[in-house]
Amino acid sequence: MIQFSEVSKRYAGGNEALASVSFNIEHGEMVFLTGPSGAGKSTLLKLLALIERPSRGQIIVNGQNLGGIRRGQIPHYRRKVGMIFQDHKLLHDRPVFDNVALPLIIAGVAYQDIPKRVSAALELVGLAHKERALPVMLSTGEQQRVGIARAVISRPPILIADEPTGNLDPDLSFEVMQLFRRLNQVGITVLVASHDHNLIRRLGQRVLSLRAGRVVAPELQGDAHAGRA
């Protein structure tokens, strides 16, 4: 589903954020991307979101070579990748409903279908009654769940999340991760960047470790995924 071959990324400043990274994530897998701050986790996810382009190497997502995607085609690619951010990136002047509906409106989904799907997505993240609320009226954990509802509403086959629990206390973090696990169980391929080792250990999924832009001990806890693939 996600295949990196010898991918390097050097930023304009001369920093080599990723150095010859290769790995393969199967369809329906859930993988944690770990590593200390500055290891290159965000960079790797940005390459997947086509926010950045690799300096070298090849990335294939869902059978599509990202190198062959021109600027004008990026929007259509992004609609098939659900994205979740540490800072939620919600629109604070719009109610929850509008935030969650945004991907559907962008994709041109028929309007009569939108309320139903927004309700279903909010129900999935346990916020069924918050449609009319503004994001500021919600707790940080609830805001993150709104972000997750928005990421899954267009039913993307892939979900990527950059430190989604970075601002949450351990209980809420575990809840959010459980939510990802459930989404993974209905068939979505999930890639979550996190440096919360305790949490990752509790969830027992495959871990991809980065250090200074290189993959180290890629199958550190590989047993968990071996049974599922």
Tell the burial category of 95 from Cβ atoms under 10 Å away from its Cβ (0-12, 13-18, 19+): middle
Q: Does 79 help bind another protein (rule: CB under 8 A)?
A: yes
**Residue 103 or 213 with smaller CB distance to another protein:** 103
Q: Which residues does 40 contact at the CB level (< 8 Å), separation at least 6?
A: 9, 17, 18, 21, 210, 212, 213
Q: Which residues does 215 contact at the CB level (< 8 Å), separation at least 6?
A: 21, 22, 23, 208, 209
> Which amino acid is residue 24, in one-letter code?
N
Q: Does 42 help bind Mg ion (rule: CB under 5 A)?
A: yes
Specify the stretch interacting with ligand ADP by CB under 6 A; choose among 33-41, 91-99, 170-178, 217-225. 33-41
Q: Does 11 help bind another protein (rule: CB under 8 A)?
A: no
Strands of the 189-193 sheet, one edge to the other: 81-84, 158-162, 189-193, 30-34, 206-211, 214-216
Total residues binding ligand ADP (CB under 6 A)? 12
The site string for ligand ADP over 40-79 (x = CB under 6 A, - otherwise) reads xxxx------------------------------------
**Residue 103 or 164 with smaller CB distance to Mg ion:** 164
84 interface partner picked from Mg ion, another protein, ligand ADP, none, CB below 5 to 8 A per type: none
Residues that bind Mg ion (CB under 5 A): 42
